[in-house]
Structure 1
Amino acid sequence: MVKKDADGTEVGGSTRSHYRGRLSRFCDYHGMDPHQLIEEAYYSGSGGGEAPWLDRNPAEERITEYYQHLVTPEDEGGEGLSENTASTYFRILKTFYEKNGVKVDLKAPTAPRANDIPDDLDRFDVRKLVYTAPNPRDRAIILVAFQSGMKTREICRLDYGHYRKGRDLMEKHGFSCLPIRKVRKKTKIKHTTFLGGDAIEVLETYLQERRGEEGEITGESPLFVKERCSSPERIEPRHIQKMMRRTAERAGFEQEKGKMNPISIKNLRDTFSSILKSKGANDVMVEHWMGHAPPYKGAYHNLRLEDMATEYEEYLHHLSITGPEERTDRRIEDLHAKLGERDERIDNLEEQVKELRSKVESIDSFGRLLDSSGELEELKETIEESVEKALREKEK
């Protein structure tokens, strides 16, 4: 399909084969064939459709997203290519679109300079991301990454059972943080990390929403699932990468076209580590929470769950995106909601009491009516005779 390079230079057969191979992987990544990609670029509107990426040139969006996937490390869900190699593939894809009549107003990205890489974030940056995220699932993913230090693939591998067991441990020991016990696939290290109150609260909202749609969630079910699927399917790293890019851009962290994600899960993970260490948290524990291999044999063997939870809780306020005032406001809202539920129950009880009183009055009126007519006494005698007769027959 592609016979010339971006500058119009003829390319040989082996190069064309290489181009086709990369185009095929680009199509697989987006789940579309070449005709669908070109048709999308031709006929997409300027926004308001079902796909948010169509708010801008879809060809540019898809090339930029794929470039980000190429340079993302493998353990983060990408291909781990160098910027130079990824830029070559970037030009191949740009050529594909332009040779098919689609304008792509992008320059191939170069290796990022020092000032292209975002500085360490703080909890207020994370709060901006969370408040910008469009739904409970995305907010929960951001907070889980920030308050636990997990990588993208680790978040994808979480099952509901990890969370449920953590809730049980939290309630058993009276922790204010939730332990997540797992094994890092890369290092084979068994380790524990924690979630703070912000992450727990948003996760509960997300899970409640899922229960309303799916019913009961089993322990083997993925903790985070894809959106708009007929049945729950585990979320993949590329979905999280796309979500982070869009959320960061909406929150005002957008950078030049073609550059790396303004903010990624790796940034949140690095911020988790840097905040805790800069505030004085135990270095060995922080390294353990992040799943790093121990610096020397047996370094993590003596770490007790209770001690780690105490250490995490001591520094948790540095990872919290809500201040005391916001937490107080939430508690007040919860109390108002509970008072509303109580008032509703009282109203229902009052209605039931009225109905009972009405029935009692009806019974009393009926009794007085029978008594005034002498029928009540006759009814009593009839009942007594029936009882005596039944007893005599029983004795026989």
Structure 2
Amino acid sequence: MDVEEFEEFRQWTRNKSEHTRNGYRSSLRRFCEFHDMNPRELVLEARNYEPEDPETAHLEENPADRRLVEWFQELTGGDGEGGEGVSRASAVNYWRHIRSFYENFGVHIKEETPKAGRRNRRSELDVEDVEKMADAAPSLRDRAMIWVGFQAGMNPSEVCSLDVGDVMGGLERGERPVSIEKTRGKTKIDHHTWIHREAIDALKAYLRDRKRKEGELDPGDPLFVKRNVRKGNRRATPTIVRKVMRGIRDSVGEDIEKVKDRLDQQTNPLAFKFLRRAFGIACDNADVPTKYKDYWLGHAPPYNGAYQGLTKKKQREKYQQLAPEINPSPTQPGADERLLESVEEVVEEKFGEVGTERVMPEVKNRLEKLDSRISRVEEQKKRIEELEEEVKDFRKWKEEVKSQDYWGNLLAKKARVMERSGKLERGEQSKD
């Protein structure tokens, strides 16, 4: 919206410096777009407001106050990077601009200007916390978004910009991990990132559900879509992502020890940007070299530097090294002990102490055998992944052979060897 077209803006900014005019213009434009109203409509609404009961007019909220509070909460409650979320200090500055706008036309803002306050502590989530968040997701789409955002180190805008074709090939080929090529909006860096087991499984479940409802999907279709949209753009938006994460906060925030005392902060401690931060922490915990982590996150390369030598093969190796930090364990620590305790309680209740002495050794024996079988399966899965890598390397070598006339070069080399051998033989005969 071009707010400069309105006389209200020109009156408000008359005799103001160019720097102040630019700041006022930006703030008013965002405020108008948030409420889908122009400057004139905002002023008329506030000035023509009539309280329902004149005797309690001083207790009722003017529309200007309500709109300013709603906007401030949206500004400070968002995710940052690419979305509506901004720092509290910036939001307070915007508040002052809009208050000045209203008061220029005789509309008094009763609400006190918020304080910038202390900076909110940043969440340091780990894979167990992310698992709780994903398990609380209200839909397959939201679950997949959470795992992709975490394992790929993406912000809301990047996740929403993904197309089906960005992951379809890797999913159909059964790759693990799956690489994703994208452009980081903030730095304009073209780079790769990856997803692993949990994100892959969540995406497969979500896409199966979409195919069942929509039929076959085209590579150009958005990967994450809005629900119940009859027409227009179906692509999910950062605003939807922020709304989902606020619901996750309300659902499981109390169950996550790191954030349960910060649920009333202005910034959601389970905001999507903290999944990106958790990915960076996981890289550090797995001793992944900084240049790989920065490249996956889309950071600009260091001064006079570049991301050289980060081949996809090397990236895959380093990302595999990260896998235990970004996938939840099949069984959490102490799970076997808790299971045995539960079984023992049930057996004792059913058969008494004598029955427990006879039955429990057999139960433990069977559990140990099952655990051994699970371990062997995990080893076999790891070996299969290694074999898949070897097959890919072989196919790559095969392509190189075709492109470089491998056999022609080999025959030429053999001819040179035979010629050299003939010369040596003739030399020895002349000496004799």
TM range, smaller chain: 0.5 to 0.7
Residues 84/298 of structure 1: CA separation in 2 closer, same or farther (3 Å cut): closer
Deviation at 1:62, TM superposition (A): 6.0
| Structure 2 residue 242 is matched with structure 1 residue 241 | yes
Could you say what secondary structure the match of 1:179 adopts?
strand
Q: Counterpart of 1:163? A: 167
Q: Check conservation: 2:161, 2:222, Cα contact below 8 A.
A: yes
AA at the equivalent of 2:184: R
Is the Cα–Cα contact under 8 Å of residues 145 and 269 in structure 1 kept in the other structure?
yes
**Alpha-carbon distance in 2 for matches of 1:148, 1:207:** 18
User: Partner residue of 2:12?
Assistant: 14
Aligned to 2:319: 312
Q: For structure 1, list consecutive stretches of 5 or more residues without a partner in the other structure.
A: 1-12, 43-56, 333-396
Deviation readout 1:281-307 (Å, 9 max, x if unpaired)? 122211111112222656423222122
After superposition, the Cα gap between the structure-2 partners of 1:310 and 1:220, relative to the gap in structure 1 and judged at 3 Å, is same
Q: Using the alignment, how far apart are the partners of 2:314 and 2:192 within structure 1?
A: 12
- 1:281-292 to 2 correspondences below 5 Å: 281-292=288-299
2:404: which partner in 1?
none
1:77 CA displacement? 2.0
Q: Give, as a single letter, the amino acid of the residue that structure 1 aligns with 2:114.
A: A
Q: Deviations over 1:315-349 (max 9, x none)?
A: 211111352479x99xx9xxxxxxxxxxxxxxxxx
In the alignment, which of 137, 142, 146 is matched to residue 141 of structure 2? 137
Instruction: Specify whether residues 302 and 84 from structure 1 end up closer, same or farther in structure 2 by C-alpha distance, changes over 3 A only.
Output: closer
* Residue of 278, 287, 293 corresponding to 1:271: 278
Alpha carbon RMSD of aligned pairs, Å?
A: 4.1
Q: Report the 3-state secondary structure (helix = DSSP H, G, I; strand = E; otherwise coil) of the residue aligned with 2:191.
A: strand
Q: 1:280 aligns with which of 275, 287, 298?
A: 287
TM-score calculated relative to the size of structure 1: 0.60
| Partner AA of 2:325 in structure 1 | H
Match of 1:76 among 82, 94, 98: 82
Distance 1:322 1:92 in 2: 51
Aligned residue pairs, count:
287
Question: Structure 1 residue 65 and structure 2 residue 74: aligned?
Answer: yes
Q: Pick from 295, 301, 320 the counterpart of residue 294 of structure 1.
A: 301
CA contact (8 A) 1:148 1:272 kept: yes
In the superposition, relative to structure 1, how do residues 294 and 89 fare at CA in structure 2: closer, same or farther (>3 Å)? closer
**For residues 298 and 94 of structure 1, do their structure 2 counterparts lie closer, same or farther at Cα, with a shift above 3 Å needed?**
closer
Q: How does 1:115-264 map to 2 (within 5 A)?
A: 116-167=120-171, 171=174, 175-231=175-231, 233-252=234-253, 253=259, 255=262, 257=264, 259-264=266-271
Q: CA deviation at 1:229?
A: 0.9
Asked if 2 retains the 8 angstrom alpha-carbon contact of 1:64 and 1:258, the reply is no
- Read off the aligned partner of 2:238 and give its amino acid letter: P
SS at match of 2:187: coil
Secondary structure of the residue aligned to 1:190 is strand
Alignment CA distance shift 1:79-1:278 (3 Å):
closer
Task: Using the TM superposition, give the Cα deviation of residue 186 of structure 1 relative to its aligned residue in structure 2, in angstroms.
Answer: 3.4
Runs (5+) with no aligned partner, structure 2: 1-10, 15-20, 52-65, 254-258, 336-369, 375-432
CA gap 1:30/1:205 in 2 versus in 1, 3 angstroms:
farther
Q: Distance in 2 between matches of 1:280 and 1:138?
A: 30
Give the percent of matched residue pairs that are identical in Structure 1 and Structure 2: 32
**In the alignment, which residue of structure 2 is the partner of 1:108?**
114
Q: CA 1:190 to 1:198, structure 2 compared with 1: closer, same or farther past 3 Å? A: same
Give the letter for the 1:157 counterpart: S
